[in-house]
């Protein structure tokens, strides 16, 4: 019984601590609020001028087009990250 309670409390603690983990912290920054769009990841699938909304590996371009991996239309980086975009 004691082991079961420890397992339940450990699981609950891990679940609650994971909920507070903000991996995309730059979305809520004052720079974003000031209208300055920031990339929210590393690699060209996050930092290019035009990106795939799904951030497929190897996607991203300096020009509008479609993602070679999934076929979705690229969106402008500034439009994708404005207004606190989150996954």
Instruction: Judge whether 78 lies within some domain.
Output: yes
When pLDDT is cut at 50, 70 and 90, the band that residue 39 belongs to is low
Q: Count CB neighbours of 48 within 10 A.
A: 18
Average pLDDT estimate for 1-15: 79
Instruction: Judge whether 67 lies within some domain.
Output: yes
Instruction: Judge whether 62 lies within some domain.
Output: yes
Instruction: Judge whether 77 lies within some domain.
Output: yes
Q: Give residue-wise pLDDT tens across range 61-75.
A: 999 999 999 999 999
Q: Count CB neighbours of 69 within 10 A.
A: 14
End-to-end CA distance of the chain: 39
How far apart CA 72 and CA 54 sit, in angstroms, is 8
Instruction: Judge whether 56 lies within some domain.
Output: yes
CA atoms within 13 A on the CB side of 6: 3
Give the mean pLDDT of the chain: 73
Question: With 80 as the cut, is the pLDDT of residue 50 above it?
Answer: yes
Residue 84 confidence (pLDDT) = 59
């Amino acid at each position: 019984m004691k082991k079961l309670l420890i397992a339940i409390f450990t699981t609950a603690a891990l679940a609650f601590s994971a909920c507070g983990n903000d991996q995309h912290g730059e979305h809520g920054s004052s720079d974003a609020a000031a209208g300055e769009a920031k990339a929210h990841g590393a690699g060209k699938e996050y930092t290019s001028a035009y990106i795939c909304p799904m951030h497929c590996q190897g996607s991203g371009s300096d020009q509008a087009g479609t993602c070679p991996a999934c076929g979705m239309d690229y969106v402008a980086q500034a439009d994708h990250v404005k207004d606190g975009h989150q996954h």
